[in-house]
Amino acid sequence: MRLSTLLILSTTTAAVVAGGWFSWRSWGRPTPIRYETAAVDRGRIVAKATATGTLSAVVTVQVGSQVSGRIAELLADFNSTVKKGQVLARIDAQLFEAALEQAQASLAVAEGNLAKAKVIADESARQARRLAKLVAEHIANQSDVEAAQATAEADRAAVAVATGSRAQALASVKQATINLGYTTIASPVDGMVISRSVDVGQTVAASLQAPTLFTIAEDLRKMQVDTSVAESDVGRLKEGMAVTFTVDAWPGERFPGAVRQVRYASQTVQNVVTYDAVVDVDNPALKLRPGMTANVAFVYAEKDAALRLPNAALRYRPPQSAAAITAVTPDKAGPTGGSPPAGGQSRAEGGRGDSGRADGGRAGGGGAPGVRGPRPTDRRVVWALRDAQPVKVPVRIGITDGSFSEILEGELTEGEALIVDAIGAPKPASTQAGPPGPMGGRRMF
């Protein structure tokens, strides 16, 4: 029993000593770094601004009713193709026909009264003339002549009143005729019925405003997209610009269009300012329908064989200890900043930099520490893997499509490897601890 206990204790002691020796030998050794790279190449870059919008017909007409009444007949339905003047519906016309007959009867009475007033006025005028002759022959008195003349003038006034009554009766007949005509609802344009709001037997009331019975799209082979473009992108848009868009109803298919108008009126929703850009769209196959949501891409720049780099290389920043020992080519310092200071890193190379952006912000910041220099947005820094070592390369970029950016300036060649990520990077020097020192503590590097 005592022998086995000694054997176990000796084995445990040997394992602890071996582990301690191995830890002492390996403590402080840097973890090897494995770089992930992507190559500089040539290819097509299409710079786009994206927005969402709604499809609609270029001209949409709402057909209503000018008169109130019961719908007696419907001659058009959803998706009906109609021509200008084609009858869509009829309202019960009995009341309007009766009103027309009443107005015509009133007109007949007014015309009779006018004829009677003319006869009386003519007779009064003749009587006044006869009395005037008798006064000249000293047969009649002057007072009789004056009375006859007054009667003639009153009868002429009665003719004018009868004429006005006849005009009123004519207007009533015309109004009743028009109202009777409004009981027949006709299409004002050629197009397709996209909405019907009534059924047979339903009563429509037009006392306050004309109720909408049908909505007609004039020509669905020509449509438009009203898009909401962010204020940061609206400056890139212009009339005639090529546009492509997709709709959920036809996944994988892109539809072409062109910008017709960029409106100056703004819309603000939840503190976001947007502008309406109207896009003309051809729809010969009638695949697109009003109300569909369109995801629009405005192509404002494109190049076919641009020297390009992956945007992941622009976002890469080396760890602090790696940046401190990396050789930087002195002739590439230029406007994007100089070599990193000893024992540290430049602002452009740091994890976030002055701007606080996760990708290091804008390149630049040369000069004294803490002094911010000009930071043009097209001046950036990438890290090339040369002779298995990362090397900082300042570049100036052009257009981008979100995945690749054009290289306008920089010491990069086609096929060169750019670092996009580093796996197994060492910790910063200030947090590394060495093996135990002679006094039992740990030596700090």
CA 355 and chain centroid, separation: 31
Say what the pLDDT of residue 181 is: 94
- Phi, psi of 119, rounded to the nearest 5 degrees: -65, -45
Together in a domain, 38 and 109:
no
Is there a single domain that holds both residue 38 and residue 106? no
Contact yes or no for 244/256 (Cβ under 8 A): yes
Is residue 131 in a domain? yes
- Do residues 313 and 422 share a domain? yes
Q: Specify whether 38 is located in the same domain as 138.
A: no
pLDDT for position 430: 40
**What are the two backbone dihedrals, phi and then psi, of residue 322, each rounded to the nearest 5 degrees?**
-70, -40
Residue 75 is assigned to a structural domain of this protein: no
Domain boundary among 129, 157, 182: 182
Whole-number CA gyration radius for the chain? 47
pLDDT of residue 135: 73
pTM: 0.60
Query: Is 235 part of any domain?
Result: no
Residues 6+ apart with CB under 8 A from 329: 391, 392, 393, 411
**Residue 372 placed within a domain:** yes
Q: Which of 182, 215, 249 is the last residue of a domain?
A: 182
Q: pLDDT of 297-336, one tens digit each?
A: 999 888 999 999 999 999 998 876 554 444 444 333 333 3
Say what percent of the chain tops pLDDT 90: 57
What's the domain range around 106?
Answer: 93-182
Does residue 220 form part of some domain? no
Nearest to 127 by CA among 108, 104, 150: 150
Residue 133 confidence (pLDDT):
78
**Is 61 inside a domain boundary?**
no
Domain count for the chain, please give it.
2
Q: What is the pLDDT of residue 282?
A: 94
Q: What is the pLDDT of residue 337?
A: 35
Q: Are 56 and 223 in contact (CB under 8 A)?
A: yes
Q: How many CB atoms lie within 10 A of CB 381?
A: 23
Q: Is residue 364 part of a domain?
A: yes
The reported pLDDT for the residue numbered 5 is 66
- Final residue of a domain: which of 130, 160, 182? 182
pLDDT-flagged residues of the chain (< 50): 1, 323-376, 427-445
Decide if 41 contacts 169 (C-beta within 8 A): no
